[in-house]
Amino acid sequence: MTKRVALIYDVIIVGAGPAGLCAALYAGRGMLKAVTIERGAPGGELLNTDLIEDYIGFESIKGWELAQKMTEHAKKFGAEIVTDTVDRIRRAADGWFEVETARGNSYHSQAVILTAGGTPVKLGVPGEKEYAGKGVSYCAVCDGAFFKGEHLAVVGGGDAAVEEADYLTRYASKVTLVHRREDFRASRILQERAFANTKIDVIRNTVVPEIAGNEKGVTHAVLENKTTGKRSNLDVGGVFIFAGFHPNTQLVDGHVDHDAGGYLITDNKMMTSMAGLFAAGDVRSQVTRQITTAVGDATTAAIAVEKYLKSLRETDGKVMARK
């Protein structure tokens, strides 16, 4: 068995997407001893986004370039970024957190900022991965403006799919909403609004078993009727998939208050129901999930952590060393 090495910090930041990098920057500015643990390259979903045009101060910037700038900025203030996979976050009886990783390390602190984000549910069909960022998208707000005048397909039947289909009509010439069932799960008011939109066509009882394209991007989606099995091609310039989104909250050992979708509920300081555990970005319950909201959450969380640790010192006289 691999022996775990105990490493002591003021705060542990789990995830190095925009929220994690921003939290690392502010933790450094607050003179906190912090570590940011990220399983891959810093940047998170930015690395899966071709072009960003809705982050204030940058009229247009590549996702990887913004990720690089954020990483460099955080490191300027002393951010320590470790490449490792977090297996578990556990709060011990003494109030200290133990963050265990796949490489056998055990990071200890009295505060954790969880910025591990979430994962869009994939269809798992041919062409989805190949054309990700080249016509296949999971965010209408992020990518809709790139498809002006195009015919687009939206796959899904929940609130997100119906709402985003309606949103996309401000750019697209036409939107075809493809749902695998007869009835939609989306709220009635969202359905009424979307279905009244003359730019939206609805295809029911149909799945998308394949997404096809060429070197320029997506050219069509293959449709399959679930009743007859008949297949046809839908010529589109993009496919927006809203089959669900899983927040990465399974890392936390123990109950933390969350909403129906599994997103963590926080107070205005970004603290969850577990004392010392803060959440920021896509893992948190909120109205929208954008780069701007992620860094806003992280700013609040990092500053709140500084005050939280100060309150512990004032209450206990000092933050006790972990044995």
316 is catalytic: no
Residue 20's Cβ-count burial label (10 Å; 0-12, 13-18, 19+) is buried
Number of residues that this document lists for the chain: 323
Catalytic residue among 143, 166, 282, 297: 143
Tens of each residue's pLDDT in the chain, 323 residues: 455 567 999 999 999 999 999 999 999 999 999 999 999 999 998 887 767 888 999 999 988 999 999 999 999 999 999 999 999 999 999 999 999 999 999 999 999 999 998 888 899 999 999 999 899 999 887 889 999 999 999 999 988 899 889 999 999 999 999 999 999 988 899 899 999 999 999 999 999 999 999 999 999 999 999 999 999 999 999 999 998 888 999 999 999 999 988 999 999 999 999 999 999 999 999 988 889 999 999 999 999 999 999 999 887 655 555 55
Cα–Cα distance for residue pair 85/154, rounded to 1 Å = 33
The answer to whether the CB of 143 falls within 8 A of the CB of 127 is: no
Long-range contacts formed by 94-98: CB under 8 A, 24+ apart = 94/320, 95/275, 95/276, 96/322, 97/12, 97/276, 97/277
Sheet of strand 252-253, all strands in order from the earlier edge strand to the far edge = 5-8, 105-109, 97-101, 86-91, 252-253
Marked catalytic residue, from 10, 50, 94, 139: 139
User: What domains does the chain contain, in order, with CATH numbers?
Assistant: 5-119+245-316 (3.50.50.60), 136-241 (3.50.50.60)
Cβ atoms of residues 76 and 26 within 8 Å = no
User: Dihedral, CA atoms, 99, 102, 105, 109, nearest 10 degrees?
Assistant: -10
Catalytic residue among 10, 142, 166, 282: 142
Cα–Cα–Cα angle for 47, 266, 81, rounded to 5 degrees: 35
Angle (CA) 243 215 212, round 5°: 40
Can 139 be counted among the known catalytic residues?
yes
**In the annotation, is 22 catalytic?**
no
- With residue 107 as reference, give the H or E element that holds it: strand 105-109
